[in-house]
Chains A and B, each alone.
Chain A
Amino acid sequence: MLGPNGSGKTTTLGMLMGVVNPTAGSYSWFGEPPTHQVRKKIGAVLEHPIFYPYLSGQKNLELMAMIKQAPAENIPRVLQMVELTDRRHDKYKNYSLGMKQRLAIASALLNDPTILILDEPTNGLDPMGIAEIREIIKRIAKAGKTIILASHLLDEVQKVCTHFAVLKKGTLMHVGPVDEVGKGEEWVEVNAFHDDLGVHLQEFVGSAQVKREAQHFLVMMKDGFHSQDLNHFLFEKGIVATHLSTNKKSLEKQFLEILSESAPAVTKR
C-alpha cells in the first residue's frame, strides 16, 4: 500500500483492525464480517511498535499471547526468528528502535497468522536495521504468508510485493500487480570510453530516444529491441561498453505519475 505521508494508509489499516471507527462503508476479513475474534488471526503492527515499557520483551509477548489466545510455546520460536532471544529479559524501554521493530514483528507472528500487516516497518531505522527487517520480511514471505505492507520505500515494495495499491488523500488511485509496472518502455544505460558515443547511439536502429546523463547515456529502446542488440551494434562499431544496464520503468516513476495524473481532480473544489 503506497501513498505519500497523510494519504490515509494507517487510517485505512486502523479501520481494518478495529481501532478507527469508519464513517461509511464496510469491509470483511476472510469473507466473514469483522469481529475482534477475526483480528486474533491477523498479525498487525501499525505505525510504530507499541508495548508496555516496564515489561520485558518476554513478558510483553506472554501478555500478547494471552490476548491473542496463542500458545505460549510459540514465544521462543518467534523470538528466535527476529534474533531477540538473548535480550528477551531486558525491559522493553531499554531496547533500541531496531529491536523494538523486531519485537513488534515477533508479536505479529505469535499466533502463526495467515495475514501479516506491517506499516512502515523500516521507518526510522539505520541501514543495518533496515537490512535486518528486510531479511525477516523475505523469510516470512517465503513461509507462505500474505503480507500487507504499507510503505513509502518504493524500491522495497517493488522487490518484495506482488500487488500494489496507491492511496492519495484517502482515495484509491490505482491498484494492480507490480509485474505490470515494468511493461512498456525499456531504457538502457550505456557508457564507453568513446568521444562520439552519443552520435553512434543515435544511429542505432533500435533506439527511440537518447538522453545524456551525468554518468552515462540513456537509450529508450523501440519495441522488440533489447540491451543485447545494442551491445551487438556497439561491438560492430568497434566500441566496447564499460557499462550496460537495463532499466525497466521503476515503481517510483509510476507512483509519481499516478499521483500527478490525478492532481487536478483532487485539488478541484
Chain B
Amino acid sequence: MRMLHLLKIDLKKLTSYRTFWIICGLYFFTLIAGAASGMEFLKWLARTIEGFGQEININRIPLYHFPDIWQNLAWGGGFLKIGLAVMTVISITNEFTYRTVRQNIIDGMSREEFLISKVLTNFLLSLLSMVAVFLIAAVAGLIYSPQLEWPYSFQGIGFYPAYLLEVFAFLSFALMLGVFIQRSGLTIIILLNSYLIELIIKENINDYLPGIIPYFPLESIMNLVPLPFARYAFQEIRDYVTISSIAIALIWTFLFNYFSYLKLKHSDI
C-alpha cells in the first residue's frame, strides 16, 4: 500500500512531463517495432541485396523460431535499455536542478521514501520492457516456427526474468550516477562512457586476474543474457541462465541503490 503510494507520487511527476512521453514512447516503439519486424527486415535485405541470400540463407537460420527467439529477442532488447536509462537520469537530475527533492522532504517524505519512489518507477519500466519483448517473442514465435513442441519450444524462457534484472540493474546504475552527479548532461555522458571505462579496466587486468572479470558491474549485467548468434556458426553457447550471473547482478543492483541511499541520507539537500 505504502509502496504503491510512493510509485503513484513519482508517476504523477512524470505523466504530465512531455519529455517522459517522448523518450518512453521512442523507447517502446523501437523495442516493439524492432523486435516484431526483425524477420521481415532480414527478408527484405535478402530480396534487395544481391548475394545476401546465398551466403547466409536466412530461411535456414531459425532466428525467429522457438525456442531460439526467446534468447535472441531478450539479447537484442537489452541494447535499447540505454534509452530508458536516459529517462531515469533526467527524472532524478531534474529533482536536483529544480530543487524539488528538497521541497519533497520538507513536505514530509523521508529521504528513503524519495529514493524508493524512483526505484519503483525503474522497476515498473523494466517490467513493462520485459512484458513487451516477451509478448512479441511469443507472437512472432508462433508465426514463424514450423512446429510447436512442449516443452522444447519454451526452453530459454528463463531469459525473461534475467532480462528484467538486466534492465532494472542498469536503471539502478543510472539512478545512482544521477544521485551522485546531479546534473543531467554530465550524468548522461558518464553513463554512455561507463562501458568504455569498464572495458579499459578489464583489458588492463585481464592478463593478471582474468577470474574477476565476471564480477565487474556492467559485465555482470551483460552476462545475464549472453550473445546467442554464435550458435549459428556451430559454436557452443550458453543458452540458459546461470545462478551465478543472477547472483552477481542482484548484488550489484542492491549496491547501486544502497549507494544512492547513503549519498542521499548523508548530504544536505
- Is the pairing of A and B real? yes
Residues A72-109 near B (CB distance < 8 A): 107
Q: How far is the CB of A116 from chain B (nearest CB, A)?
A: 12
Interface size class of B (residues with CB under 8 A): 20 to 34
Question: Is B98 located at the chain interface by the 8 A CB criterion?
Answer: yes
Nearest A-chain residue to B117, judged by Cβ: A67
Which chain A residues (198-245) contact chain B, with CB distance < 8 Å?
Answer: none
Give per-residue flags for B4-16: 1 if the beta carbon is below 8 A from chain A beta carbons, else 0: 0100110011001
In-complex Cβ contact of B18 among A19, A54, A56 (8 A): A54
A66: chain B residues at CB < 8 Å are: 5, 8-9, 12
Stretch at the interface among B107-115, B129-137, B198-206: B107-115
Is there a chain A Cβ closer than 8 Å to B45's Cβ? no
Query: Taking the complex as formed, is A14 at the interface, i.e. its CB lies under 8 A from any CB of chain B?
Result: yes
Q: Is B59 an interface residue (CB 8 A)?
A: no
B268 at the interface (CB under 8 A from A): yes
Asked whether B107 lies within 8 Å of A54 as measured between CB atoms, the reply is no
A184 at the interface (CB under 8 A from B): no
Closest CB in chain B relative to A27 CB, distance in Å:
15
A51-70: which have CB < 8 Å to B? 51-56, 59, 62-64, 66-69
Q: For residue B7, give the distance in angstroms from its CB to the closest CB of chain A.
A: 11
Q: Is the CB of B17 within 8 A of A54?
A: yes
Q: Is B98 a contact partner of A52 (Cβ separation < 8 A)?
A: yes
CB distance from B234 to the nearest CB of A (A): 54
- A10 to B212 Cα, complex, angstroms: 49
Q: Mark B76-108, 1 if CB is under 8 A from A, else 0.
A: 000000000000000000000011101111111
On whether the beta carbons of B106 and A39 are closer than 8 Å, the reply is yes
Chain B nearest CB: distance from A93 CB in Å?
A: 10
Interface size class of A (residues with CB under 8 A): 20 to 34
Interface residues of B, dominant DSSP: helix
Cα-based distance from A76 to B5 in the complex (angstroms): 22
Give CA–CA (A55, B20) in the complex, Å: 13
- Residues from chain B with a CB closer than 8 A to the CB of A267 are none
Q: Are A54 and B16 closer than 8 Å at their CB atoms?
A: yes
> With A19-B268, A36-B110 in contact, is A52–B105 under 8 Å at CB?
no
**B106 touches which of A37, A44, A62 (Cβ 8 Å):** A44
Please tell me if A21 contacts chain B, counting CB pairs below 8 Å: yes
Of all chain B residues, the one with the shortest Cβ separation from A92 is: B98
- Inter-chain contact A18/B16, CB cutoff 8 Å: no
- Given A19-B269, A21-B266, A39-B108, also A50-B9 (CB < 8 A): no
Assembly CA distance A50 to B98 (angstroms): 7
Do B106 and A63 have beta carbons less than 8 Å apart?
no
Measured CB to CB, the nearest residue on chain B to A41 is B108
Q: Are B16 and A59 in contact (CB under 8 A)?
A: yes
Within the assembled complex, what's the spacing in Å between the Cα atoms of A56 and B15?
13
Complexed CA–CA distance, A229 and B65 (Å): 107
Task: Find the B residue at minimum CB distance from A44.
Answer: B106
Query: By the criterion CB–CB under 8 Å, are A53 and B268 in contact?
Result: no
Q: Given the known A-B contacts A36-B113, A54-B17, A66-B9, are A21 and B268 also in contact in the complex, defined by CB atoms under 8 Å?
A: yes
A46 within 8 A of B: yes
> Is B17 touching A67 in the complex (CB atoms < 8 A)?
no
Q: A168 near B: Cβ within 8 Å? A: no
Complex interface: chain B residues within 8 A of A107 (CB): 107
A9 at the interface (CB under 8 A from B): no
**A20 contacts B by Cβ under 8 Å:** yes
What's the Cα separation between A107 and B103 when bound, in Å?
A: 11
Residues of B within 8 A of A69 (CB): 108
> Assuming the A-B contacts A20-B268, A50-B100, A50-B102, are A67 and B108 also in contact, with contact meaning beta carbons closer than 8 angstroms in the complex?
yes
Query: Does A36 contact B105, Cβ atoms closer than 8 Å?
Result: yes
User: What residues on A are CB-neighbors of B12 within 8 Å?
Assistant: 59, 62-63, 66
The answer on a CB contact under 8 Å between A18 and B268 is: no
Q: How far is the CA of A64 from the CA of B18 in the complex (A)?
A: 20
Contact of A19 among B8, B17, B98, B105 (CB under 8 A): B105
Asked whether A50 lies within 8 Å of B99 as measured between CB atoms, the reply is: yes
Q: Say whether A17 faces chain B, with CB atoms less than 8 Å apart.
A: yes
B269 CB contacts on chain A under 8 angstroms: 19-20
CB-defined contacts of B268 to chain A, threshold 8 Å: 14, 19-21
Which residues of A are found within 8 Å of B100, using beta-carbon distances?
50-52
The contact of A55 among B9, B16, B108, by CB within 8 Å, is: B16
Quick one: which of B16, B17, B107 contacts A39, CB cutoff 8 A? B107
CB-contact partner of B104 in A35, A37, A55, A67, under 8 A: A67
Q: Indicate which residue in B16, B105, B107, B266 contacts A64 across the interface (CB closer than 8 Å).
A: B107
**Which B residue's beta carbon lies closest to that of A91?**
B16
Nearest 3 A/B pairs, CB to CB:
A40-B108, A36-B110, A50-B103
Interface residues of B (CB under 8 A from A): 5, 8-9, 12-13, 16-18, 98-100, 102-110, 113, 266-269
Given A14-B268, A50-B100, A67-B9, 12 additional A-B pairs, CB 8 A? A17-B105, A17-B106, A21-B267, A37-B108, A39-B105, A40-B107, A40-B108, A50-B98, A50-B99, A52-B13, A62-B12, A67-B109
Q: Can you list 5 residue pairs at the A/B interface with Cβ under 8 Å?
A: A21-B268, A36-B109, A39-B108, A67-B104, A67-B107
